[in-house]
Structure 1
Amino acid sequence: MSWIEKLKNKWGLESNWQFVIIMLVFACTGTTVVLIKKPLIQLLFEDGVKPLWFQISYWVLILPIYNVILLCYGFLFRQFDFFWKYEQKMLKRFGIKVNADKE
């Protein structure tokens, strides 16, 4: 069984196309986060030197920002349900209780 098939089974995906879309959402999210950082630094710091407080703040804040962007792209690519479930699992791992919809 290939790694793609293993992920499809783990995530409960129905097709290769859905797998491609989900990988595309992850790629777009990561690219967006990387592209946001440089202009943010240039806006906040004229000389481009990042103080330690910015470095620490960036790493603390990037996780929630990444998750919001991930959900936005998931919505745009019509995979919001998958990514909402993905987010709920991640939050549970961090010990944050999530009110999951009862079906």
Structure 2
Amino acid sequence: MNQLIEKLKKRWEIETIGQLILILFIFSITGMTALYVRKFAFGWLGIDEHTALWVEVIAWVGTVFPAYQVLFLFYGFVLGQFEFVWRFEKKSLQRITGMLKRSSGS
């Protein structure tokens, strides 16, 4: 367990176990809040168990994914870890755009 903690601290460029716990908490509350956003957005859009999967996927990408990103930044700011969260977001978005560019053949 100690090796995992040290590996995460090194990978995420953080110094204390307190920061690590706080960052894991930020991931957790962001995910839980995103579930509420999904429930609200899907209800508002009229998506239910009879909706085609492709419609759900498009709705998820259009609502929940961006909401998660904003919530992650918000919670990181409120809990004093904005620098880490911003750096993490930039890396994640660079990976996503890189995958999209490779899949489009550019």
Same fold (TM over 0.5): yes
- CA deviation profile, 1:15-60 (whole Å, cap 9, x unmatched): 0100011000000000001122223333332x84452254022332
User: In the TM superposition, what is the alpha-carbon distance from 1:68 to its structure 2 partner?
Assistant: 1.2
User: In the TM superposition, what is the alpha-carbon distance from 1:10 to its structure 2 partner?
Assistant: 0.7
User: Contact conserved, 1:41 with 1:50, CA < 8 A, in 2?
Assistant: no
- The TM-score normalised by the length of structure 2 is 0.76
Match of 1:38? 39
C-alpha distance in 2 between matches for 1:65 and 1:39:
12
For residues 50 and 70 of structure 1, do their structure 2 counterparts lie closer, same or farther at Cα, with a shift above 3 Å needed?
farther
C-alpha distance in 2 between matches for 1:59 and 1:43:
13
Match of 2:87? 85
**Alignment root-mean-square deviation, CA:** 2.1
Match of 2:20? 19
C-alpha distance in 2 between matches for 1:29 and 1:2:
26
The answer to whether structure 1 residue 64 and structure 2 residue 66 are counterparts is: yes
C-alpha distance in 2 between matches for 1:2 and 1:74:
25
For residues 78 and 50 of structure 1, do their structure 2 counterparts lie closer, same or farther at Cα, with a shift above 3 Å needed?
farther
Match of 1:51? 51
C-alpha distance in 2 between matches for 1:5 and 1:29:
24
Which ranges in structure 2 are unaligned for 5 or more consecutive residues? 99-106
Which ranges in structure 1 are unaligned for 5 or more consecutive residues? 97-103
The total of aligned residue pairs comes to: 95
Please, which moves more after superposition, 80-89 or 33-42? 33-42
Instruction: Answer 1 or 2: higher relative contact order, Cα 8 Å, separation at least 6.
Output: 2
Which is helix-richer, 1 or 2? Answer: 2
